[in-house]
Structure 1
Amino acid sequence: MINKDLERYIPIANLMAKTFGKNCEVVIHDLSVPQNSVVYTVNNHVTGRKVGQTFDHLVKQVLLSKNFDGDYAANYKTITEDGKEIKSSTALIRNSKNEVIGALCVNYDLEPMKNMKNFLDDFMKVEEEKVKEEVEPFNNVIEIVDDLIDKIITNTNVDTLKRKEKIELIKFMDNKGIFLIKGAIEKVAEKLNISKVTVYSYLDEIKKNEEER
């Protein structure tokens, strides 16, 4: 069942999809359940997003983007598994306590418009990242990622986790860019009751296994 605070955004998602047509996909994420964050989609044929899936670009292309400001990052490029070029924008959703609880994502399929590119350059432009002044610290990015780590691990009994299960959790977080944040490895090690060295060894093992595929 969708969170009531997030449910309010369903009419907005529907409005955006209706306004910009079938090539505009809108997705609502519930970040209290990171592994299954997608709770609502419209026009999900654009990227194939389904309810129950996890987020893809939140950390790497939104929270760590130099264009991330005012709780949103707009007009960054993503590529679907079948090679389609997508223009994406993401805004964080906060509750009445100013806590980040979700995200509203817009994905626009640019493929049908390529034949009109000369006329639509301004619309299709993917902005280059702008260097901005140093902020304190990362516009609450560290706090947001720490909260994601807590939620990813919260629903597991750390004391009974087997080595393979710990590696799967670390692989999930690595894929989502969690470890790009300074101090994330130390925090995860503490939460899983293992050493920082062990986390690094698991990451090395994950990388080696992927290279052997």
Structure 2
Amino acid sequence: MHIILEQYKTLVEFLGQALGSDYEVVLHDLSEGNNAIVAIANGHISGRSMGAPLTALALRFLADKEYEQHDYKVGYRGVSRKNGHLRSSTMFIKDEEGRVIGMLCINFDPSRGVQAANAVLSMCGLPPVSCPPAGEDEEGAAQSTEIFVSNIPDVVRGAIEEVTGRSGLPSSRLTMEEKIRIVEALQQAGLFHLKGAVSEVAAQLGSSEATIYRYLSKLKN
């Protein structure tokens, strides 16, 4: 772990206690290709723990080099393991040379506040509020939604489903052209920054690791 990240581990614990149990605070180590959680507070919100990988959206932040234009991203939508909506924010941690080495993320679960508000509204005979508010689920919102997973297979599976638009599609039904398009999309999403991603993609596409590396090499040319 980069020495700069060490001080953030204490910050994670502090923020978790100061903000309370409705706020998950997460530190990702991006140095040396680790891309894993190294500190987490209130992990019950997303169901993740130490060692969990980056989400597909976080990988996209890296692939798009968002950190070169912004020091942080605030207020995008997250989805918890209970399918509850979260308000998520990420700060990019950089070294002395401006290279991104970590991410400090805060995920707020508003469900308790919404329940309390609806209890009051019910007593007043008023309709309940939803979270997110009705009408906010526009088509573009899906592109900035972060779905939290706890292991690499889930990351790969989610990314493949996003590309194909189908869940549980047998690899035997994919053509070579489709597999190349999937690998290209996964590459653009930054998935191959994760250790073990190539072998997992190969397994889920029904291909060999050598084939996946060949696809990647072809895409670079």
TM-score under structure 1 length normalisation: 0.53
Report the count of equivalent residues.
Answer: 143
Query: Which residue is equivalent to 1:162?
Result: none
Identical amino acids, percent of aligned pairs: 25
Aligned-pair distance for 1:25?
Answer: 0.8
* Partner residue of 2:214 out of 194, 198, 205: 194
Verify: 1:6 aligned to 2:5, yes or no: yes
Kept in 2, the 8 Å contact 1:62–1:73? The answer is no
Kept in 1, the 8 Å contact 2:89–2:105? The answer is yes
Change (3 A) 1:78 1:63: farther
SS in 2 for 1:194: helix
Query: Which residue is equivalent to 1:78?
Result: 78
Q: Which moved more, 1:56-65 or 1:71-80?
A: 56-65
Change (3 A) 1:39 1:71: same
Kept in 2, the 8 Å contact 1:59–1:178? The answer is yes
Change (3 A) 1:197 1:37: closer
Mapped to 1, the partners of 2:188 and 2:52 lie a distance apart of 13
Query: Which residue is equivalent to 1:159?
Result: none
Query: Which residue is equivalent to 1:149?
Result: none
Mapped to 1, the partners of 2:75 and 2:39 lie a distance apart of 21
Change (3 A) 1:36 1:69: closer
Structure 2 letter corresponding to 1:174: L
Mapped to 2, the partners of 1:61 and 1:99 lie a distance apart of 14
SS in 1 for 2:106: strand
Structure 2 letter corresponding to 1:97: E
Query: Which residue is equivalent to 1:19?
Result: 18
Unaligned runs of 5+ in 1: 130-166, 180-191, 201-213
Cα RMSD of the aligned pairs, angstroms, is 4.1
Query: Which residue is equivalent to 1:138?
Result: none
SS in 2 for 1:9: helix
Structure 2 letter corresponding to 1:98: G
Aligned-pair distance for 1:108?
Answer: 1.0
Structure 1 letter corresponding to 2:53: T
Mapped to 2, the partners of 1:63 and 1:193 lie a distance apart of 18
* Residues 1-213 of structure 1 aligned to structure 2 (within 5 Å): 2-32=1-31, 34=33, 36-56=35-55, 57-60=57-60, 70-117=70-117, 174=186, 177-178=189-190, 194=214
Kept in 2, the 8 Å contact 1:27–1:106? The answer is yes
Mapped to 2, the partners of 1:65 and 1:16 lie a distance apart of 27
Change (3 A) 1:19 1:62: farther
TM-score under structure 2 length normalisation: 0.51
Structure 1 letter corresponding to 2:96: S
Mapped to 2, the partners of 1:94 and 1:40 lie a distance apart of 17
Mapped to 2, the partners of 1:110 and 1:176 lie a distance apart of 32
> Which structure carries more relative contact order (alpha carbon 8 Å, separation 6+)?
2
Unaligned runs of 5+ in 2: 121-128, 141-178, 192-211
Change (3 A) 1:110 1:81: same
Superimposed CA distance per residue, residues 23-75 of structure 1 (whole angstroms, 9 cap, x where no aligned partner):
11110001135565111101111111211111112144687599x95311001
Kept in 2, the 8 Å contact 1:35–1:53? The answer is no
Kept in 2, the 8 Å contact 1:76–1:87? The answer is yes
